Structure 1
Amino acid sequence: MSLSSRVAAAFAVDRRVLALAFARMADGVGNSFLIVVIPLYVVSDVVGGATFGLAEAMIIGIILSLFGFLNSICQPVTGRLSDRAGKRKLFILVGLGGLTVTNLAYVFAESYASLVLIRGLQGVSVAFIVPTSIALVNELATTRDRGGNMGVYNTFRLIGFGAGPVAAGAVVNAGPYALPVAGGATISGFDAAFYVAAVTAALSYLLVTVLITDPEATQASAGDDLAIAIRDPSGRNLLDPTFTLGVATLFMATGIALFATIQPQVNERLAQGATWFGLQFAAFVIAQILLQTPIGRACDRYGRRPFIVAGMVLLVPTTLVQGFVLTSETMFAARLLQGVAGAMVFAPSLALAGDLAGEGESGTKLSVLTMAFGFGIAIGPLTSGALVGYGFHVPFVFGAALAAAGFVLVYTQIEETLESPAAGPVPGTTND
């Protein structure tokens, strides 16, 4: 047995899923680098040009939000096209190639307009990666181990996403860097960060090229009728289950992203500094990293629906309480428990949607959830910014109401897809 197969067996996943997880971890580091670096770059002396009457803060908001909106809008299109082509690997490589080139392009960007253009192209590039990666994981898994595969994939992706911002500030602040091979030439901290992002994307491209292959079933059976239904075609419920999961995911993502843009208000209310806010912001990601895999495996044994329902229930108080806590420690605890709720919803939802996807339609079906999550992450900060002026608690009351609505939808419209919950996967098996 090869080393990659032994490592995959230890995680109880297909070795190609593990390879894809490591590849997404690598590009996640580079992509999340830019969340910290771009705002610093915009306000630096390097960037200039026409501002079109907009303040720098608004330009930063546009650049960051444009990525999310374009990424989410394009995902159903790229997911559907990859279903029709039956070539997941090709679409992933196109996206990673685009990320590599655009990360390098920042080195030469010196105007606000060029930053907007580059970040927009990055949003489109990532839209080639996300739905096709999830579809590939889905097709390499089976009903007995789909949740575990989704959990492992998401765990490593989140590790990369969480590590990037931690390192980004240090890379920028430690510049400029001397290049001993270039006769004493130096590069700025910003350029170094962009090079790091480009290298991680290129590394991800290399891993996918060498280690990933399309499943034979995808190559042979890409479907023609890939429309997403809103009404339940079986007639048992009012709404289609995949559409319902998408709406619940949108509500969940909006609620967890409310925290992102109100740092001044949070710090003032809790009489804390930026370090505490960073810990509170990271608490959600920490919970996701720790719990995605075990919850994914548990939902293979006990069923998808119980975890999704329980997660939506837990999301209501953990979102609401953030509007009323008065200490830094309790805010951290609330964010951590909110992360537990998110972990209970996300991997089981992907597994359930994957169970429902027919051959050749994983990209289309699962893009509903990934698109909804992306829209929620983009909408949440805008919502909290608009509502916090009416009172600190108002954004969180709104988020809790969305979570409650999501619970009602999931409880009434979603049915279990495992035929025999508690049977579970055979420990240590893979799909090689």
Structure 2
Amino acid sequence: MFGTDRRVVVLALARMADAVANSFLIIVLPLYIASGELALPGFEGRMVLGIPLTIELLIGFALSLFGFLNSFAQPFTGRLSDRTGRRKIFILFGLGVLAVTSVAYALVDTYEALLVVRGLQGLGGAFVIPTTIALVNDLARSDAERGGNFGVFNTFRLIGFGFGPVVAGLVVQAGPYSLPAGMALSGFNAAFGVAVLGALVSITLVTILIEEPPMAEADASDDLSISVLDEADEQLFDPVFVLGIGTLFMAISIALFATLQEPINTRLGQGPTWFGIQFSAVVIANVVLQVPIGRAADRIGRKPFLVGGLVILAPAVLAQGLVHSPWTMLVARLAHGISVAMVFAPALAAAGDLAKEGQSGTTLSVLTMAFGFGTAIGPLASGVLYGYGFVVPFAFGAALALAALVLVVTQVEETLKGAVAPTLPFGFGE
């Protein structure tokens, strides 16, 4: 596809199937927790440290747990894959864990048991995410292909992530399903079954079609700390750290939305299908733009897209807390998606440019870890902040986007050698 290494396309297809499974759960788990089919803890409605334990907060915690455990483990799995010179075995192991835990959702009957399954799933994901991204980076034959590789990879992955929520809402609403011998399958269990199928398809594709490029075991230090200050003393902060912070804030802005499914549907007078379309709008915009933006970032440079995306991000997020109709929410979500597309692939490509030979798993895990933390913090933050007003979670996300913009403008230099960036106002492209 577009001259991209076949293995990158296969990895992208495998992640697309896995992303369908994960995005199903983002839509299904809030509905499942709020449905009454799951026994909730008796402390719901009480106050802890002045924060009311609402159903939205319980949902946010369940969604966040995946991201927290996933992110904590990613530096270790990324470093281990560098030191062993292996990627594929880690990817397959993680996909296996995701498949098994997706089955387990249909077996639990309490909120606490669901949290255990969600936590195990997060640990499984930690073996997939940094190693897959590192393998895509390894397959780039030069810096001038890196943005394009990440653009293709993210496009397919996001097709799965965007397609899943729409189908998930339809699958749950259409249940229960009649089975032979008078049995029935609930809409929730049918959705969990689709998640299992997605993981199994990914395992099959990686097993049969992926061959790793030869790579030496990296002489990586056991020190897992992240450099905060710039060791070259050219800027105050290390550029990979700043890219990680920008990715963190961007991911938080994306993840604010899912926890508020019921309040958003009530405010806009819509159902789960409309919500699934709005949730997917961010992803659809990325699907359309990831490849051309990745290719353009290989020609023009990384920084113009990083800055431009963050300029759009703040108003797009804030607008979601102010709109009053399904269609205006959809427009705001599409703008949000455009901004994410301008940041995502160029940030990964910039980090790949900065990675030392044989240490792409370690370096890129900073961004994948940051994205995971963002998807964990976002639902939890929106669950807490929603109690202070509907607009507050989105105002919080917009403020983070502005902070990311300032950091990237002042602390990240262009990483693509020979890039001639277009002139932007206030020296943003310099």
TM-score bracket, normalised by the shorter chain, equals 0.7 to 0.9
Judging changes above 3 Å, is the alpha-carbon distance between structure 1 residues 64 and 271 closer, same or farther for their aligned structure 2 residues? closer
3-state SS in 1 of match to 2:258: coil
Specify the alignment match of 2:330 in structure 1: 332
Report how far residue 274 of structure 1 moved: 5.2
| Superposition TM-score, scaled by structure 1 size | 0.86
Judging changes above 3 Å, is the alpha-carbon distance between structure 1 residues 319 and 53 closer, same or farther for their aligned structure 2 residues? closer
Amino acid at match of 1:176: Y
In 2, are the aligned partners of 1:221 and 1:359 still within 8 Å (CA)?
no
What is the rounded CA distance, in whole Å, between the counterparts of 2:59 and 2:324 in structure 1? 30
In 1, are the aligned partners of 2:95 and 2:199 still within 8 Å (CA)?
yes
Specify the alignment match of 1:296 in structure 2: 294
Two-structure CA RMSD over aligned residues (Å): 2.5
Amino acid at match of 1:250: L
What is the rounded CA distance, in whole Å, between the counterparts of 1:196 and 1:14 in structure 2? 29
Paired residue for 2:204, among 200, 203, 206?
Answer: 206
* Matched ranges for 1:3-42 at <5 A: 10-42=1-33
* 2:172 corresponds to 1:176: no
Specify the alignment match of 1:7 in structure 2: none
* 2:249 corresponds to 1:251: yes
Runs of 4+ with deviation above 6 angstroms: none
Paired residue for 1:224, among 220, 224, 236?
Answer: 220
Specify the alignment match of 2:51 in structure 1: none
Specify the alignment match of 2:120 in structure 1: 121
Amino acid at match of 2:76: V
What is the rounded CA distance, in whole Å, between the counterparts of 2:245 and 2:409 in structure 1? 13
Aligned length: 408
Report how far residue 392 of structure 1 moved: 4.0
Judging changes above 3 Å, is the alpha-carbon distance between structure 1 residues 336 and 36 closer, same or farther for their aligned structure 2 residues? closer
Report how far residue 201 of structure 1 moved: 0.8
What is the rounded CA distance, in whole Å, between the counterparts of 2:76 and 2:104 in structure 1? 25
Report how far residue 88 of structure 1 moved: 0.7
Specify the alignment match of 2:72 in structure 1: 73
Judging changes above 3 Å, is the alpha-carbon distance between structure 1 residues 11 and 52 closer, same or farther for their aligned structure 2 residues? farther
3-state SS in 1 of match to 2:43: coil
What is the rounded CA distance, in whole Å, between the counterparts of 2:188 and 2:272 in structure 1? 22
Report how far residue 108 of structure 1 moved: 2.9
In 2, are the aligned partners of 1:177 and 1:189 still within 8 Å (CA)?
no
Specify the alignment match of 1:410 in structure 2: 408
Structure 2, unmatched stretches of 5+, are: 46-53, 422-430
* 2:144 corresponds to 1:154: no
* Matched ranges for 1:242-391 at <5 A: 242-263=240-261, 265-266=263-264, 276-391=274-389
* CA displacement, residues 131-168 of structure 1 (integer Å, 9 cap, x when unaligned): 11000001101201111110111111111112222222
In 1, are the aligned partners of 2:95 and 2:203 still within 8 Å (CA)?
yes
Report how far residue 277 of structure 1 moved: 4.0
What is the rounded CA distance, in whole Å, between the counterparts of 1:224 and 1:326 in structure 2? 52
Specify the alignment match of 1:6 in structure 2: none
Judging changes above 3 Å, is the alpha-carbon distance between structure 1 residues 96 and 251 closer, same or farther for their aligned structure 2 residues? same
* 2:141 corresponds to 1:112: no
Report how far residue 264 of structure 1 moved: 5.1
Identity %: 59
In 1, are the aligned partners of 2:309 and 2:343 still within 8 Å (CA)?
yes
* CA displacement, residues 325-370 of structure 1 (integer Å, 9 cap, x when unaligned): 4554333222211211111011100000011111221111111111
Judging changes above 3 Å, is the alpha-carbon distance between structure 1 residues 383 and 43 closer, same or farther for their aligned structure 2 residues? closer
In 2, are the aligned partners of 1:299 and 1:307 still within 8 Å (CA)?
yes
In 2, are the aligned partners of 1:255 and 1:319 still within 8 Å (CA)?
yes
| Superposition TM-score, scaled by structure 2 size | 0.87
Amino acid at match of 1:15: R
What is the rounded CA distance, in whole Å, between the counterparts of 2:275 and 2:193 in structure 1? 28
Structure 1, unmatched stretches of 5+, are: 1-9, 424-432
Query: Which stretch of structure 1 is more off in the superposition, 355-364 or 372-381?
Result: 372-381
Specify the alignment match of 2:90 in structure 1: 91
What is the rounded CA distance, in whole Å, between the counterparts of 1:42 and 1:325 in structure 2? 27
